[in-house]
Amino acid sequence: MSGVQHRDVTADDDGMRLDRWFARHFPQLGFARLQKLIRNGEVRVDKGRVQTSTRLAEGQIVRVPPIDDPDTVRAFKPNLEDVRFLKDLILYEDDDLYVFNKPHGLAVQGGSGTVRHMDGLLKNLPNKAGEAPRLVHRLDRDTSGCLVVAKTAAAAKHFGSVFRSRSARKIYWAIVAGNPTPRQGEISCFLAKQATTDGEQMVVVRNGAPGAVHSSSYYSTTDTASRRFAWVTLKPVTGRTHQLRVHMAQLGTPIIDDPRYFNIENWQAAPGLGEGLHLHARRIALPLRNGKKIDISAPLPPHMRQSFEALGFDPDRYDAQNTDPESAA
């Protein structure tokens, strides 16, 4: 790269912080150097001065100053340990995308106090143009399973549209406290974000309340262990923050070990259960750009497999490619 560049903000980058935009498109540029360039007014958006936290909008133009001076740039070298870590998580890969089996406890994006996350790790798998792969949907930190990541801007645009249009078929497995009544059905309610000392939390609100958004999920009871536990298959229709966790709590059968939404007083867990949120993105099916479809399943994380064994649930009883039980949508 030489000279000043002017880059258009694409739909895929709409709403992204400026510092994250640079980390995606210019991973070789260190954060301290970026801050200095911004302070000096060398980085601009639509000719205006900016901050690292400035949110970008589709169609804006980012002024990128020359950054190829060896005294002002640190060469980016992939961390081989992180590369191996990511490659061990790959469930499916083609020229357009990865499907990873995201581990329980690994955040998808950075935040306050979060240093290691998928978005940061992905810079270790740059495409042929040197750009980091792009997230096209999200999972909670403590939710494991299928995570779709696009390799290019064109692929990100396609899969972003797939998720926004609800063309992706997502199936989750959960272990909940109690048995859902009825055994299968739909949960539909309005949710809004509420600030707490532990961060944002979703609460059920009336239609028309400030910030209210509609949410809908289908659920089906796959198996039970007496009346204390159930293995539930979930299919989200909308994609709200913490949606499945709130919905199961609203039904009176919260997900085991949910630190935010488990609401049963004096609860006594069964011996032998694994520790951690018992919610797993088991399966995802979605159309590719070439018109074909993929249908990918992720094996259970260790803590959920431990609980399945302790409760007598057989995760191999159902072929996830063909006979995952679910309510008709």
Structure tokens at 196: 């707490």
pLDDT band, very low/low/confident/very high, at 75 (cuts 50, 70, 90): low
pLDDT at 324 over 70: no
Fold agreement (80-167, 170-311)? yes
Q: Report if pTM > 0.85.
A: no
Are 240 and 232 contacting, i.e. CB atoms less than 8 angstroms apart? Answer: no
CATH number listed for the domain at residues 170-311? 3.30.2350.10
Q: What is the pLDDT of residues 209-243, one digit of tens each?
A: 999 999 999 999 999 998 999 999 999 999 899 99
Mean pLDDT of the chain: 88
Domains of the chain, residue spans? 5-72, 80-167, 170-311
- Active site residue ranges: 140
Element (H, E) at 229: strand 229-236
pLDDT per position as a tens digit, 246-277? 999 999 999 999 999 998 888 888 889 999 99
Please state which architecture CATH assigns to domain 80-167: 2-Layer Sandwich (3.30)
CB count within 10 Å of CB 245 equals: 24
Q: Cα–Cα distance between 229 and 317 in angstroms, integer?
A: 18
CATH superfamily of 5-72: RNA-binding S4 domain (3.10.290.10)
Evaluate the CA torsion angle 14, 212, 165, 136 in order and state its sign. positive
Cα distance between residue 299 and residue 312, in whole Å: 17
Side chain identity at 161, as an amino acid letter? Answer: S
| pLDDT on residue 314 | 93
Token pair 């298959």: residue: 233
